[in-house]
């Protein structure tokens, strides 16, 4: 079985992470990931208030006695959520690890560190990874251009980004973006990472709390079926290609501004129409290029087991057989 220093530092069996996912990172999925021996993150801002996050953490604890974490995504916003209050709930609830993302975590680090919460910081560039390491985080999760959600503006795919980061990062580092199977895990290790983070692949599992149509669409989709929205606004997001995301790209490419797409991209629209009601053309939903490698909707346990077993086989049989 593949075991790395990530497993030792973060207290998990497999070097596999389920990153924070707005509307998807709820107790059902995170507990299944934890029970499978991987590291799952509840998504703080999926919960409408910090009190609801405390309840969701408690609900997750009822479903697993294994460690799990909380993702705190800090994004620029006109009316920011009460980040400090969410952060305090994370610390007070005794969760062992937080995944910070979206912004420099400096403001929140002293509270996490004082509360004994390990910090896995997710970022999309080598310079931000180096900065976070200097700030004293416990691990880095680095997202290549392939990823669902926000890939940043540098457009560096994992094949270059991960080894470039590995040259500068000494703490445990997780490769993210485009990973979905054992081949990805073994490749990430070869590139210098200590494990993988997956978002899209975990959406297409039995336990993910999203409509069956979304999972089926992921199985049908190819690696070409994503769109990059908000490019002209320099706030790029990779989402599933559908009538709404293609319209957003066309409006912004045609010189439109955020006001012109505000209704189309509304988070609640994607959440209710797509993720809950199953209308895959009803709004925006995050998905990565790895859709092209997703061919089934297994349970989380089956998925993690399969990746662990096949990685073992790939290293021992195929790779070891290539050297003499
Ligand atoms: C539906 C969905 C929602 C996501 N929401 C968030 C989020 O709220 N915060 C965050 O840091 N990352 C978010 N992500 C990104 C994932 O945590 C992860 O970094 C990314 O999916 C990795 O790329 P992959 O999809 O190719 O595995 C989301 C991804 C998906 C698929």
Residue nearest atom 4 in ligand 1 by C-alpha distance: 21
Domain CATH number, residue 11: 3.20.20.70
Please tell me the predicted confidence (pLDDT) of residue 76.
73
Instruction: Please report whether residue 241 resides in a domain.
Output: yes
In this predicted model, what pLDDT tens digit does every residue of 98-138 receive, in sequence order? 999 999 999 999 999 999 999 999 999 999 999 999 999 99
Show Cβ contacts of residue 63 under 8 Å, excluding neighbours closer than 6 positions.
Answer: 27, 28, 31, 32, 35
CA–CA distance from 182 to each of 13, 36, 186, 309, 313 (Å)?
Answer: 16, 15, 6, 8, 9
CB-count exposure of residue 59 (10 Å: 0-12, 13-18, 19+)? middle
Report yes or no on 63 lying in a domain: yes
pLDDT at position 75: 86
Q: How far apart are CA 269 and CA 63, in angstroms?
A: 29
The pLDDT of residue 30 is: 99
Number of domains in the chain: 2
Q: Round the average pLDDT of the chain to a whole number and report it.
A: 97
Same domain, 204 and 240: no
Is 64's pLDDT higher than 80?
yes
Q: What pTM did the predictor assign?
A: 0.98
Residues 190 and 231 in one domain: no
The alpha carbon of 149 and the centre of ligand 1 are apart by a number of angstroms equal to: 5
pLDDT of residue 77: 77
Whether 313 is in a domain gets the answer no
Report CA dihedral (257, 261, 262, 264) to the nearest 10 degrees.
-170
What domain range is 269 assigned to? 226-286
DSSP 15-83: SEEE---TTT-SHHHHHHHHHTTSEEEEEGGGSSSHHHHHHHHHHHHHH-SS--EEEEE----SS---H
Residues 202 and 252 in one domain: no
- Taking the CA of residue 178 as reference, the ligand 1 atom at the shortest distance is 26
* Average pLDDT of span 210-216: 98
Q: Which of 173, 208, 243 is the last residue of a domain?
A: 208
Residues 276, 154 share a domain: no
The answer as to whether 68 is a domain residue is: yes
Mean pLDDT, to the nearest integer, of 167-183?
98
Do 196 and 128 fall within a single domain?
yes
pLDDT of residue 82: 97
Ligand 1: list residues with CB < 6 Å: 19-22, 24, 43, 71, 73, 101, 122, 143, 146-149, 176-179, 197-201, 203, 286-288, 290
Around Cβ 286, how many Cβ atoms within 10 Å? 21
The 8-class DSSP code of residue 208 comes to: S
Are 138 and 247 members of one domain?
no
* Model confidence pLDDT, tens digit, residues 248-299: 999 999 999 999 999 999 999 999 999 999 999 999 999 999 999 999 999 9
Q: Which atom of ligand 1 is nearest to the CA of 102?
A: 11
**In a domain? residue 110:** yes
In a domain, 281, yes or no: yes
Give yes or no for residue 197 having a pLDDT over 80.
yes
Residue to mutate (ligand 1; options 19, 125, 142; most atoms within 8 A of CB): 19
Residue 78 has pLDDT above 80, yes or no: no
Give yes or no: residues 182 and 147 share one domain. yes
Q: What is the pLDDT of residue 136?
A: 98
pLDDT at residue 79 in the model? 85
Quickly state the pLDDT bin for 51 (edges 50, 70, 90). very high
How many C-beta neighbours within 10 Å does residue 1 have?
A: 10
Same domain, 69 and 170: yes
Q: What is the mean pLDDT of the segment spanning 158-174?
A: 98
Distance 236 CA to ligand 1 centre (A): 13
pLDDT value for 272? 97
């Amino acid at each position: 079985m593949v075991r790395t220093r990530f497993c030792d530092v973060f207290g998990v069996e497999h070097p596999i992470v389920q990153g924070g996912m707005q509307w998807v990172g709820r107790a059902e999925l995170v507990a299944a990931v934890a029970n499978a021996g991987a590291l799952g993150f509840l998504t703080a801002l999926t919960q409408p208030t910090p009190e609801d996050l405390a309840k969701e953490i408690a609900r997750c604890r009822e479903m697993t006695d294994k460690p799990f974490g909380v993702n705190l995504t800090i994004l620029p916003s006109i009316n920011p959520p009460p980040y400090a209050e969410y952060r305090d709930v994370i610390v007070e609830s005794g969760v062992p690890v937080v995944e910070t993302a979206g912004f420099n975590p400096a403001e929140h680090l002293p509270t996490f560190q004082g509360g004994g919460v390990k910090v896995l910081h997710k970022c999309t560039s080598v310079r931000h990874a180096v900065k976070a390491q200097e700030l004293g985080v416990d691990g880095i999760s680095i997202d290549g251009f392939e990823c669902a959600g926000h890939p940043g503006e540098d457009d560096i795919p994992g094949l270059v980004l991960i080894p470039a980061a590995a040259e500068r990062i000494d703490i445990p580092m997780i490769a993210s973006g485009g990973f979905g199977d054992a081949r990805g895990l073994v490749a990430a290790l070869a590139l210098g990472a200590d494990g993988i983070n997956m978002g899209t692949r975990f959406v297409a599992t039995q336990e993910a709390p999203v409509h069956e149509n979304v999972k089926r669409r992921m199985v049908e989709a190819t690696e070409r079926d994503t769109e990059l929205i908000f490019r002209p606004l320099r706030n790029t997001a990779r989402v599933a290609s559908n009538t709404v995301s293609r319209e957003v790209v066309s409006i912004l490419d045609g010189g439109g501004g955020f006001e012109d797409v505000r209704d189309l991209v509304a988070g609640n629209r994607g959440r209710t129409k797509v993720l809950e009601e199953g209308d895959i053309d009803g709004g925006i939903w995050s998905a990565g290029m790895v859709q092209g490698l997703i061919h089934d909707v297994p349970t989380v346990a089956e998925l993690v087991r399969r990746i662990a077993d096949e990685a073992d086989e790939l290293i021992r049989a195929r790779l070891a057989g290539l050297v003499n």
